[in-house]
Amino acid sequence: MSDLPVITQQQLALRNGQDKPEIWIAYQGKVYDVTHSRLWRNGKHYEHWAGQDLTDELKDAPHTSQVFEKLTQVGVLPAIQ
């Protein structure tokens, strides 16, 4: 079990690079802070937008999921019932 907070889809959506100073993305149930990443300026990275779960979108990415190991995890998404 994680000691990190559960972050709702609504909380995640507000961290889209426009509404709040933080920029967050989610992948495989984990929420990551990409605020200081030069690759996520203004909440956009290529055709991907911050503030959402990118698990399905990243299946076609040119990189592996190892890129998330370099990011700070700030929370978890609630399990889908």
pLDDT score recorded for residue 37: 94
What digits encode the pLDDT tens for the residues 25-72? Answer: 999 999 999 999 999 999 999 889 999 999 998 887 778 788 899 999
pLDDT score recorded for residue 49: 95
CATH architecture of 9-76: Roll (3.10)
CB 78 within 8 A of CB 31: no
Q: Where are the alpha helices (DSSP H) in 3-81?
A: 9-13
**Beta bridge mates, 31:** 26, 75
**Domain-wise residue ranges, the chain:** 9-76
